[in-house]
Amino acid sequence: MAAPSPAGDGGSERAQRPHCEVADVVRAYGRAFTATHRLSGQQRRVLRAIVQCRTAALGGHVEQCADCGHQRIAYNSCRNRHCPKCQGGERAQWFAAQQALLLPVPYFHVVFTLPHALNALIRLNRRELYALLFRTAAATLQQVATDPKHLGAELGITAVLHTWGQTLTEHVHLHCVVTGGGLRPEGRWVDLPKGRRNRLFLFPVRALSTRFRARFCEGLHTLHAQGKLRLWGPCAPLSGRVEWARYRHTLNSSPWVVYAKPPFGGPAVVLKYLSRYTHRVAIANQRLVAVGDGMVRFRYRDYADHNAPKILTLSAEEFLRRFLLHVLPLGFKRIRHFGLLASRGRADKLRRCRQLLDQHPGVAVGAACDLGTELAPMGDTAPETPPPRCPICGSQHLRIIERLPPIRPGPLLL
């Protein structure tokens, strides 16, 4: 029998491999980049994971078709959350697990964005300021929601952190998906008033923006007063009282963006939509156009030009620099739940909500959603992994006949 055919990308017959990938950039230019740039241990681990993903370095197995006998090698994935090739399967698993959290109510989407004046400070304090963003956005929503003039109830909130823009520049923002209604302290569910159900969002966006800015700036000042902010390099002057006061004034005097999107068509749609956001990476392989001659070309949408599709060319060094800006601190959770969906008391609160909403136990309202339908524009997410098929006869009757141990290479990156 002929030797098994390799599928170095984990089975390229299953899903067509893009003609160039982020891994190609790292292989070609990663060594030179790491020699001239100071990287954190986490950033180095991400680069190693991406370049080893679905190669012999991580081991794999030999598959054989039970119908025609064809054999092929499939290598293991790195499962790093920053790897563009590893998000399809992770997203599908998350999707299945989150169905149990959906309620049969309208859902709304709101985005909280931090001003670019904070970017330099964020680079030195990612863990602290990303966590502050989560707390501030959730507290702002809940503060407005519990006001009797608006809803007078506790919301269910799922928040997802993104740190990038279309050109890989720093654009820190939080996507929040919010229940269109809430649970009042006396244990009664309250729906949106009928006149508000077709509005963009539950509450006035301007009020959210003002309260969000005030809360975040207050939390930032507390961190500064407690000495919990790292201040060096371009941020070193902020250690002085006068410069810090001027910086706070600049933040407080500029408008902060809170963007509301139209409500979703139903609970099934919201889960599919949210799953596209939860497992995005800074750039998908499908957006890359060409890699070579020290340059990287990729597609993006220019929001300032009516969302027009364009192509940007960056040096490989600048591409890697921008890509690594979005590596999260080790162990940091970029998907968090608040209010009715917070871990503490979630089971009891959701059980009460379902009773009030007449949702029968065991019914997953997201089950009707087809995860294979594209909602994200222009390949921003990794494609879903279709069921494995034999590339010769198309059969799905594949079985593993041999396990392949990892082949540990020499240092890929210095």
Tens of pLDDT, residue by residue over 75-123, are 999 999 999 988 766 777 777 777 778 888 888 889 999 999 999 999 9
Which is nearest to 85 in space by CA: 410, 351, 382? Answer: 382
**Under 8 Å between Cβ of 118 and 234:** no
Q: Does the pLDDT value for residue 386 go beyond 70?
A: no
Contacts of 382 (CB under 8 A, 6+ apart): 84, 85, 86, 87, 88, 91, 279, 281, 284, 285, 286
Strands (E), 139-251: 156-164, 170-179, 181-183, 189-191
User: If DSSP states are collapsed to H, E and C, what string results for 326-394?
Assistant: CCCCCCCCCEEEEECCCCCCHHHHHHHHHHHHCCCCCCCCCCCCCCCCCCCHHHCCCCCCCCCCCCCCC
Average pLDDT of the residues of the chain: 85
DSSP-assigned letter for residue 57: G
Looking from the CA of 28 toward its CB, the CA atoms found within 13 Å total 18
Distance of CA 263 to the CA centre of its chain: 20
Mutual angle of helices 241-253 and 205-225, in 10-degree steps: 170
Give pLDDT, residue 414. Answer: 42
| Residue 269 pLDDT grade (very low, low, confident, very high; cuts 50, 70, 90) | confident
Measured distance CA(254)–CA(218) in Å, rounded: 15
Mean pLDDT of 5-26: 66
Tell me the pTM.
Answer: 0.87
Give pLDDT, residue 374. Answer: 33
Q: Given the DSSP bridges, would you call strands 189-191 and 288-292 parallel, antiparallel or unpaired?
A: unpaired
Q: Does the pLDDT value for residue 369 go beyond 50?
A: no
**Under 8 Å between Cβ of 275 and 94:** yes
Mean pLDDT of 246-271: 84
pLDDT tens, position by position, 252-261:
998 899 988 7
Give pLDDT, residue 204. Answer: 79
b or e along 143-154 (b: 16 or more beta carbons within 10 Å of the residue's beta carbon)?
bbbbeeebbebb
pLDDT tens, position by position, 152-182:
999 999 999 999 999 999 999 999 989 988 9
| Residue 196 pLDDT grade (very low, low, confident, very high; cuts 50, 70, 90) | low
Q: Does the pLDDT value for residue 201 go beyond 70?
A: no
Give pLDDT, residue 157. Answer: 94
| Residue 128 pLDDT grade (very low, low, confident, very high; cuts 50, 70, 90) | very high
Contacts of 6 (CB under 8 A, 6+ apart): 72, 73, 75
243 membership: H or E segment, kind and range: helix 241-253
Mean pLDDT of 348-369: 73
